[in-house]
Structure 1
Amino acid sequence: MKKGKMIILSGPSGSGKTTISQYLLSKIPELKFSVSCTTRSMRNNEKHGKDYYFLSTKRFISKIKKYQFVEWEEVYPQLFYGTLKNEISKIWNENKHILFDVDVKGGLSLQRKYPYNSLSIFVMVKSMKILKERLFTRNSNNMNIRLNKAKIEWKYANLFDVILLNVDLLKTKKKAVQLVSNFINKSG
């Protein structure tokens, strides 16, 4: 198996990481999205195996016990997210680099496990007020829980390789492409 590189996009809910992730995939053909597992319910516009692998809590916990995850977190009470080891192998066997869109703890876990071939990017907005507006526009469930979690997550921003401030989305997306392209093209 050829070992590729990893791009780890993390940040609070509503920071823009999924939009940036989709843009990176459209601009950099060497990237492939790592589909995470979750125990949350599927939303109307989502597809199993494309957006997430939607698992029951029982099945998720079974995979934890069998050490099938490279990282996993209970992001909110009884709401699990994780990355399967075989998802990483599958993408690297396709000679692609992996793009992760993961929560902050998951991102830091991946960064610790793959320090030499990963680029970790923390996506953030200027203020909690802006984040609250974005979550409100998205009709996010559990907004207060998400905002409280964001306050905690911001404290970890400096542990990432890069902090990407998302003020102007178009400029932020272009900056992300530049960062990722430079990292992928760097030898080593």
Structure 2
Amino acid sequence: MQPLIILLAAPSGTGKSTIAKRLFEDFPNLKFSISATTRAPRKGESHGADYYYLSMDEFQQKIDNGDFIEWEEFYGGTRYGTLRSELVKNTEKGYFTLLDVDVKGAVRIKTLFNERCLALFLQPPSLEILEKRLRNRNTESESSLKLRRERADEELKYTGHFDAIITNDNLEKAYSELKNVVQTFLNLY
């Protein structure tokens, strides 16, 4: 049985987590793929629920073993990756898998799984509005805001690789559009 994948990529602050939670509510046969990371757990996070927290050596061993479908190293040397075992587990249980990945990972996964993968990109109405949303969180330093904006600008260059691009200028409208695209895709299988 081949996996059926929905990729959701978006710049930080676009509403991706909120939309993903609603997808899980509306599509009970959709399960999340837990990513692996070398970063330390944040307050309230736990191993195996939020991420698989690995040392750099453990992560490298999984790379060497071919355990990742894709992985990426970000500024500061922190690595994130999608474990093949997560897809296998969900598929064997009869679930579709939702992946929350960066744009480069999304492009790699879309290339691997082609028509069995729906690649969705959630974009902000503008970089200015995105920056305002991030500022309103009050969780970012000026340098972090600058990095996130630069990263968002870079991510927006990849939109041509996605099956659907949804602008989140209104959460309800964006979710409705995204839900319809997902429903159409799942109805094919």
TMscore range, shorter length: over 0.9
Number of aligned pairs?
A: 186
Which ranges of structure 2 fall in alignment gaps of 5 or more residues?
none
CA–CA distance in structure 1, aligned partners of residues 152 and 103 of structure 2 = 9
CA–CA separation in structure 1 for the residues paired with 2:120 and 2:135: 24
Letter paired with 1:9 = L
Asked if 2 retains the 8 angstrom alpha-carbon contact of 1:7 and 1:98, the reply is: yes
In the TM superposition, residue 156 of structure 1 has moved relative to its aligned partner by: 0.5
Letter in 1 for 2:27: I
Give the match for residue 67 of structure 1.
Answer: 66
1:147 aligns with 2:146: no
Which structure has the highest helix share of the two? 2
Cα deviation, residue 65, structure 1: 1.4
Deviation, structure 1 residue 75: 2.7
Aligned counterparts, 1:141-180, within 5 A: 142-180=144-182
Instruction: Structure 1: give runs of 5+ residues left out of the alignment.
Output: none
CA distance in 1 between counterparts of 2:172 and 2:45 reads: 24
Structure 2 counterparts to residues 21-40 of structure 1, below 5 A:
21-40=20-39
Query: Per the alignment, do residues 40 and 135 of structure 1 end up closer, same or farther by CA in structure 2, a change over 3 Å counting?
Result: farther
**Contact persistence 1:8–1:100 (CA under 8 A):** yes
Contact 1:31 1:96 in 2 (8 A): yes
Counterpart of 1:119 in structure 2 is: 118
CA distance in 2, matches of 1:20, 1:45: 21
1:65-100 deviations in whole A, cap 9, x for unaligned? 111101001132301110011111001001110001
> What's the offset of the Cα at 1:163?
0.3
In 2, the alpha carbon distance for the partners of 1:140 and 1:65 equals 35
**Compared CA separation, residues 140 and 94, structure 1 to 2 (3 A):** farther
- Tell me which residue corresponds to 1:44: 43
Structural RMSD (CA): 1.3
Q: Identity of paired residues, percent? A: 39
User: Which ranges of 4 or more aligned residues in structure 1 deviate by more than 4 Å?
Assistant: none
TM (norm. structure 1) is 0.93
Give the drift of 1:52: 1.2
Contact 1:4/1:117 (8 A) holds in 2? yes
One-letter amino acid of the counterpart of residue 140, structure 1? E
- SS of equivalent to 1:13: coil
CA contact (8 A) 1:4 1:95 kept: no
Q: Aligned letter for 1:177?
A: K
1:77 alignment partner, SS class: helix
SS at match of 1:8: strand
Per-residue CA deviation, residues 3-22 of structure 1 (Å, 9 max, x unaligned), is: 24110000111111121111
What's 2:186 paired with?
184
Q: Give CA deviations for 1:126-183 in whole Å, capped at 9, x if unaligned.
A: 1111111222233136221111111111010121111011111122122222111110
Separation of aligned partners in 2, 1:137 and 1:48? 29
Q: Secondary structure at the match of 2:80?
A: strand
What is the rounded CA distance, in whole Å, between the counterparts of 2:173 and 2:117 in structure 1?
23
Counterpart for residue 129 of structure 1:
128
Q: Distance in 2 between matches of 1:57 and 1:146?
A: 24
Change (3 A) 1:11 1:3: same
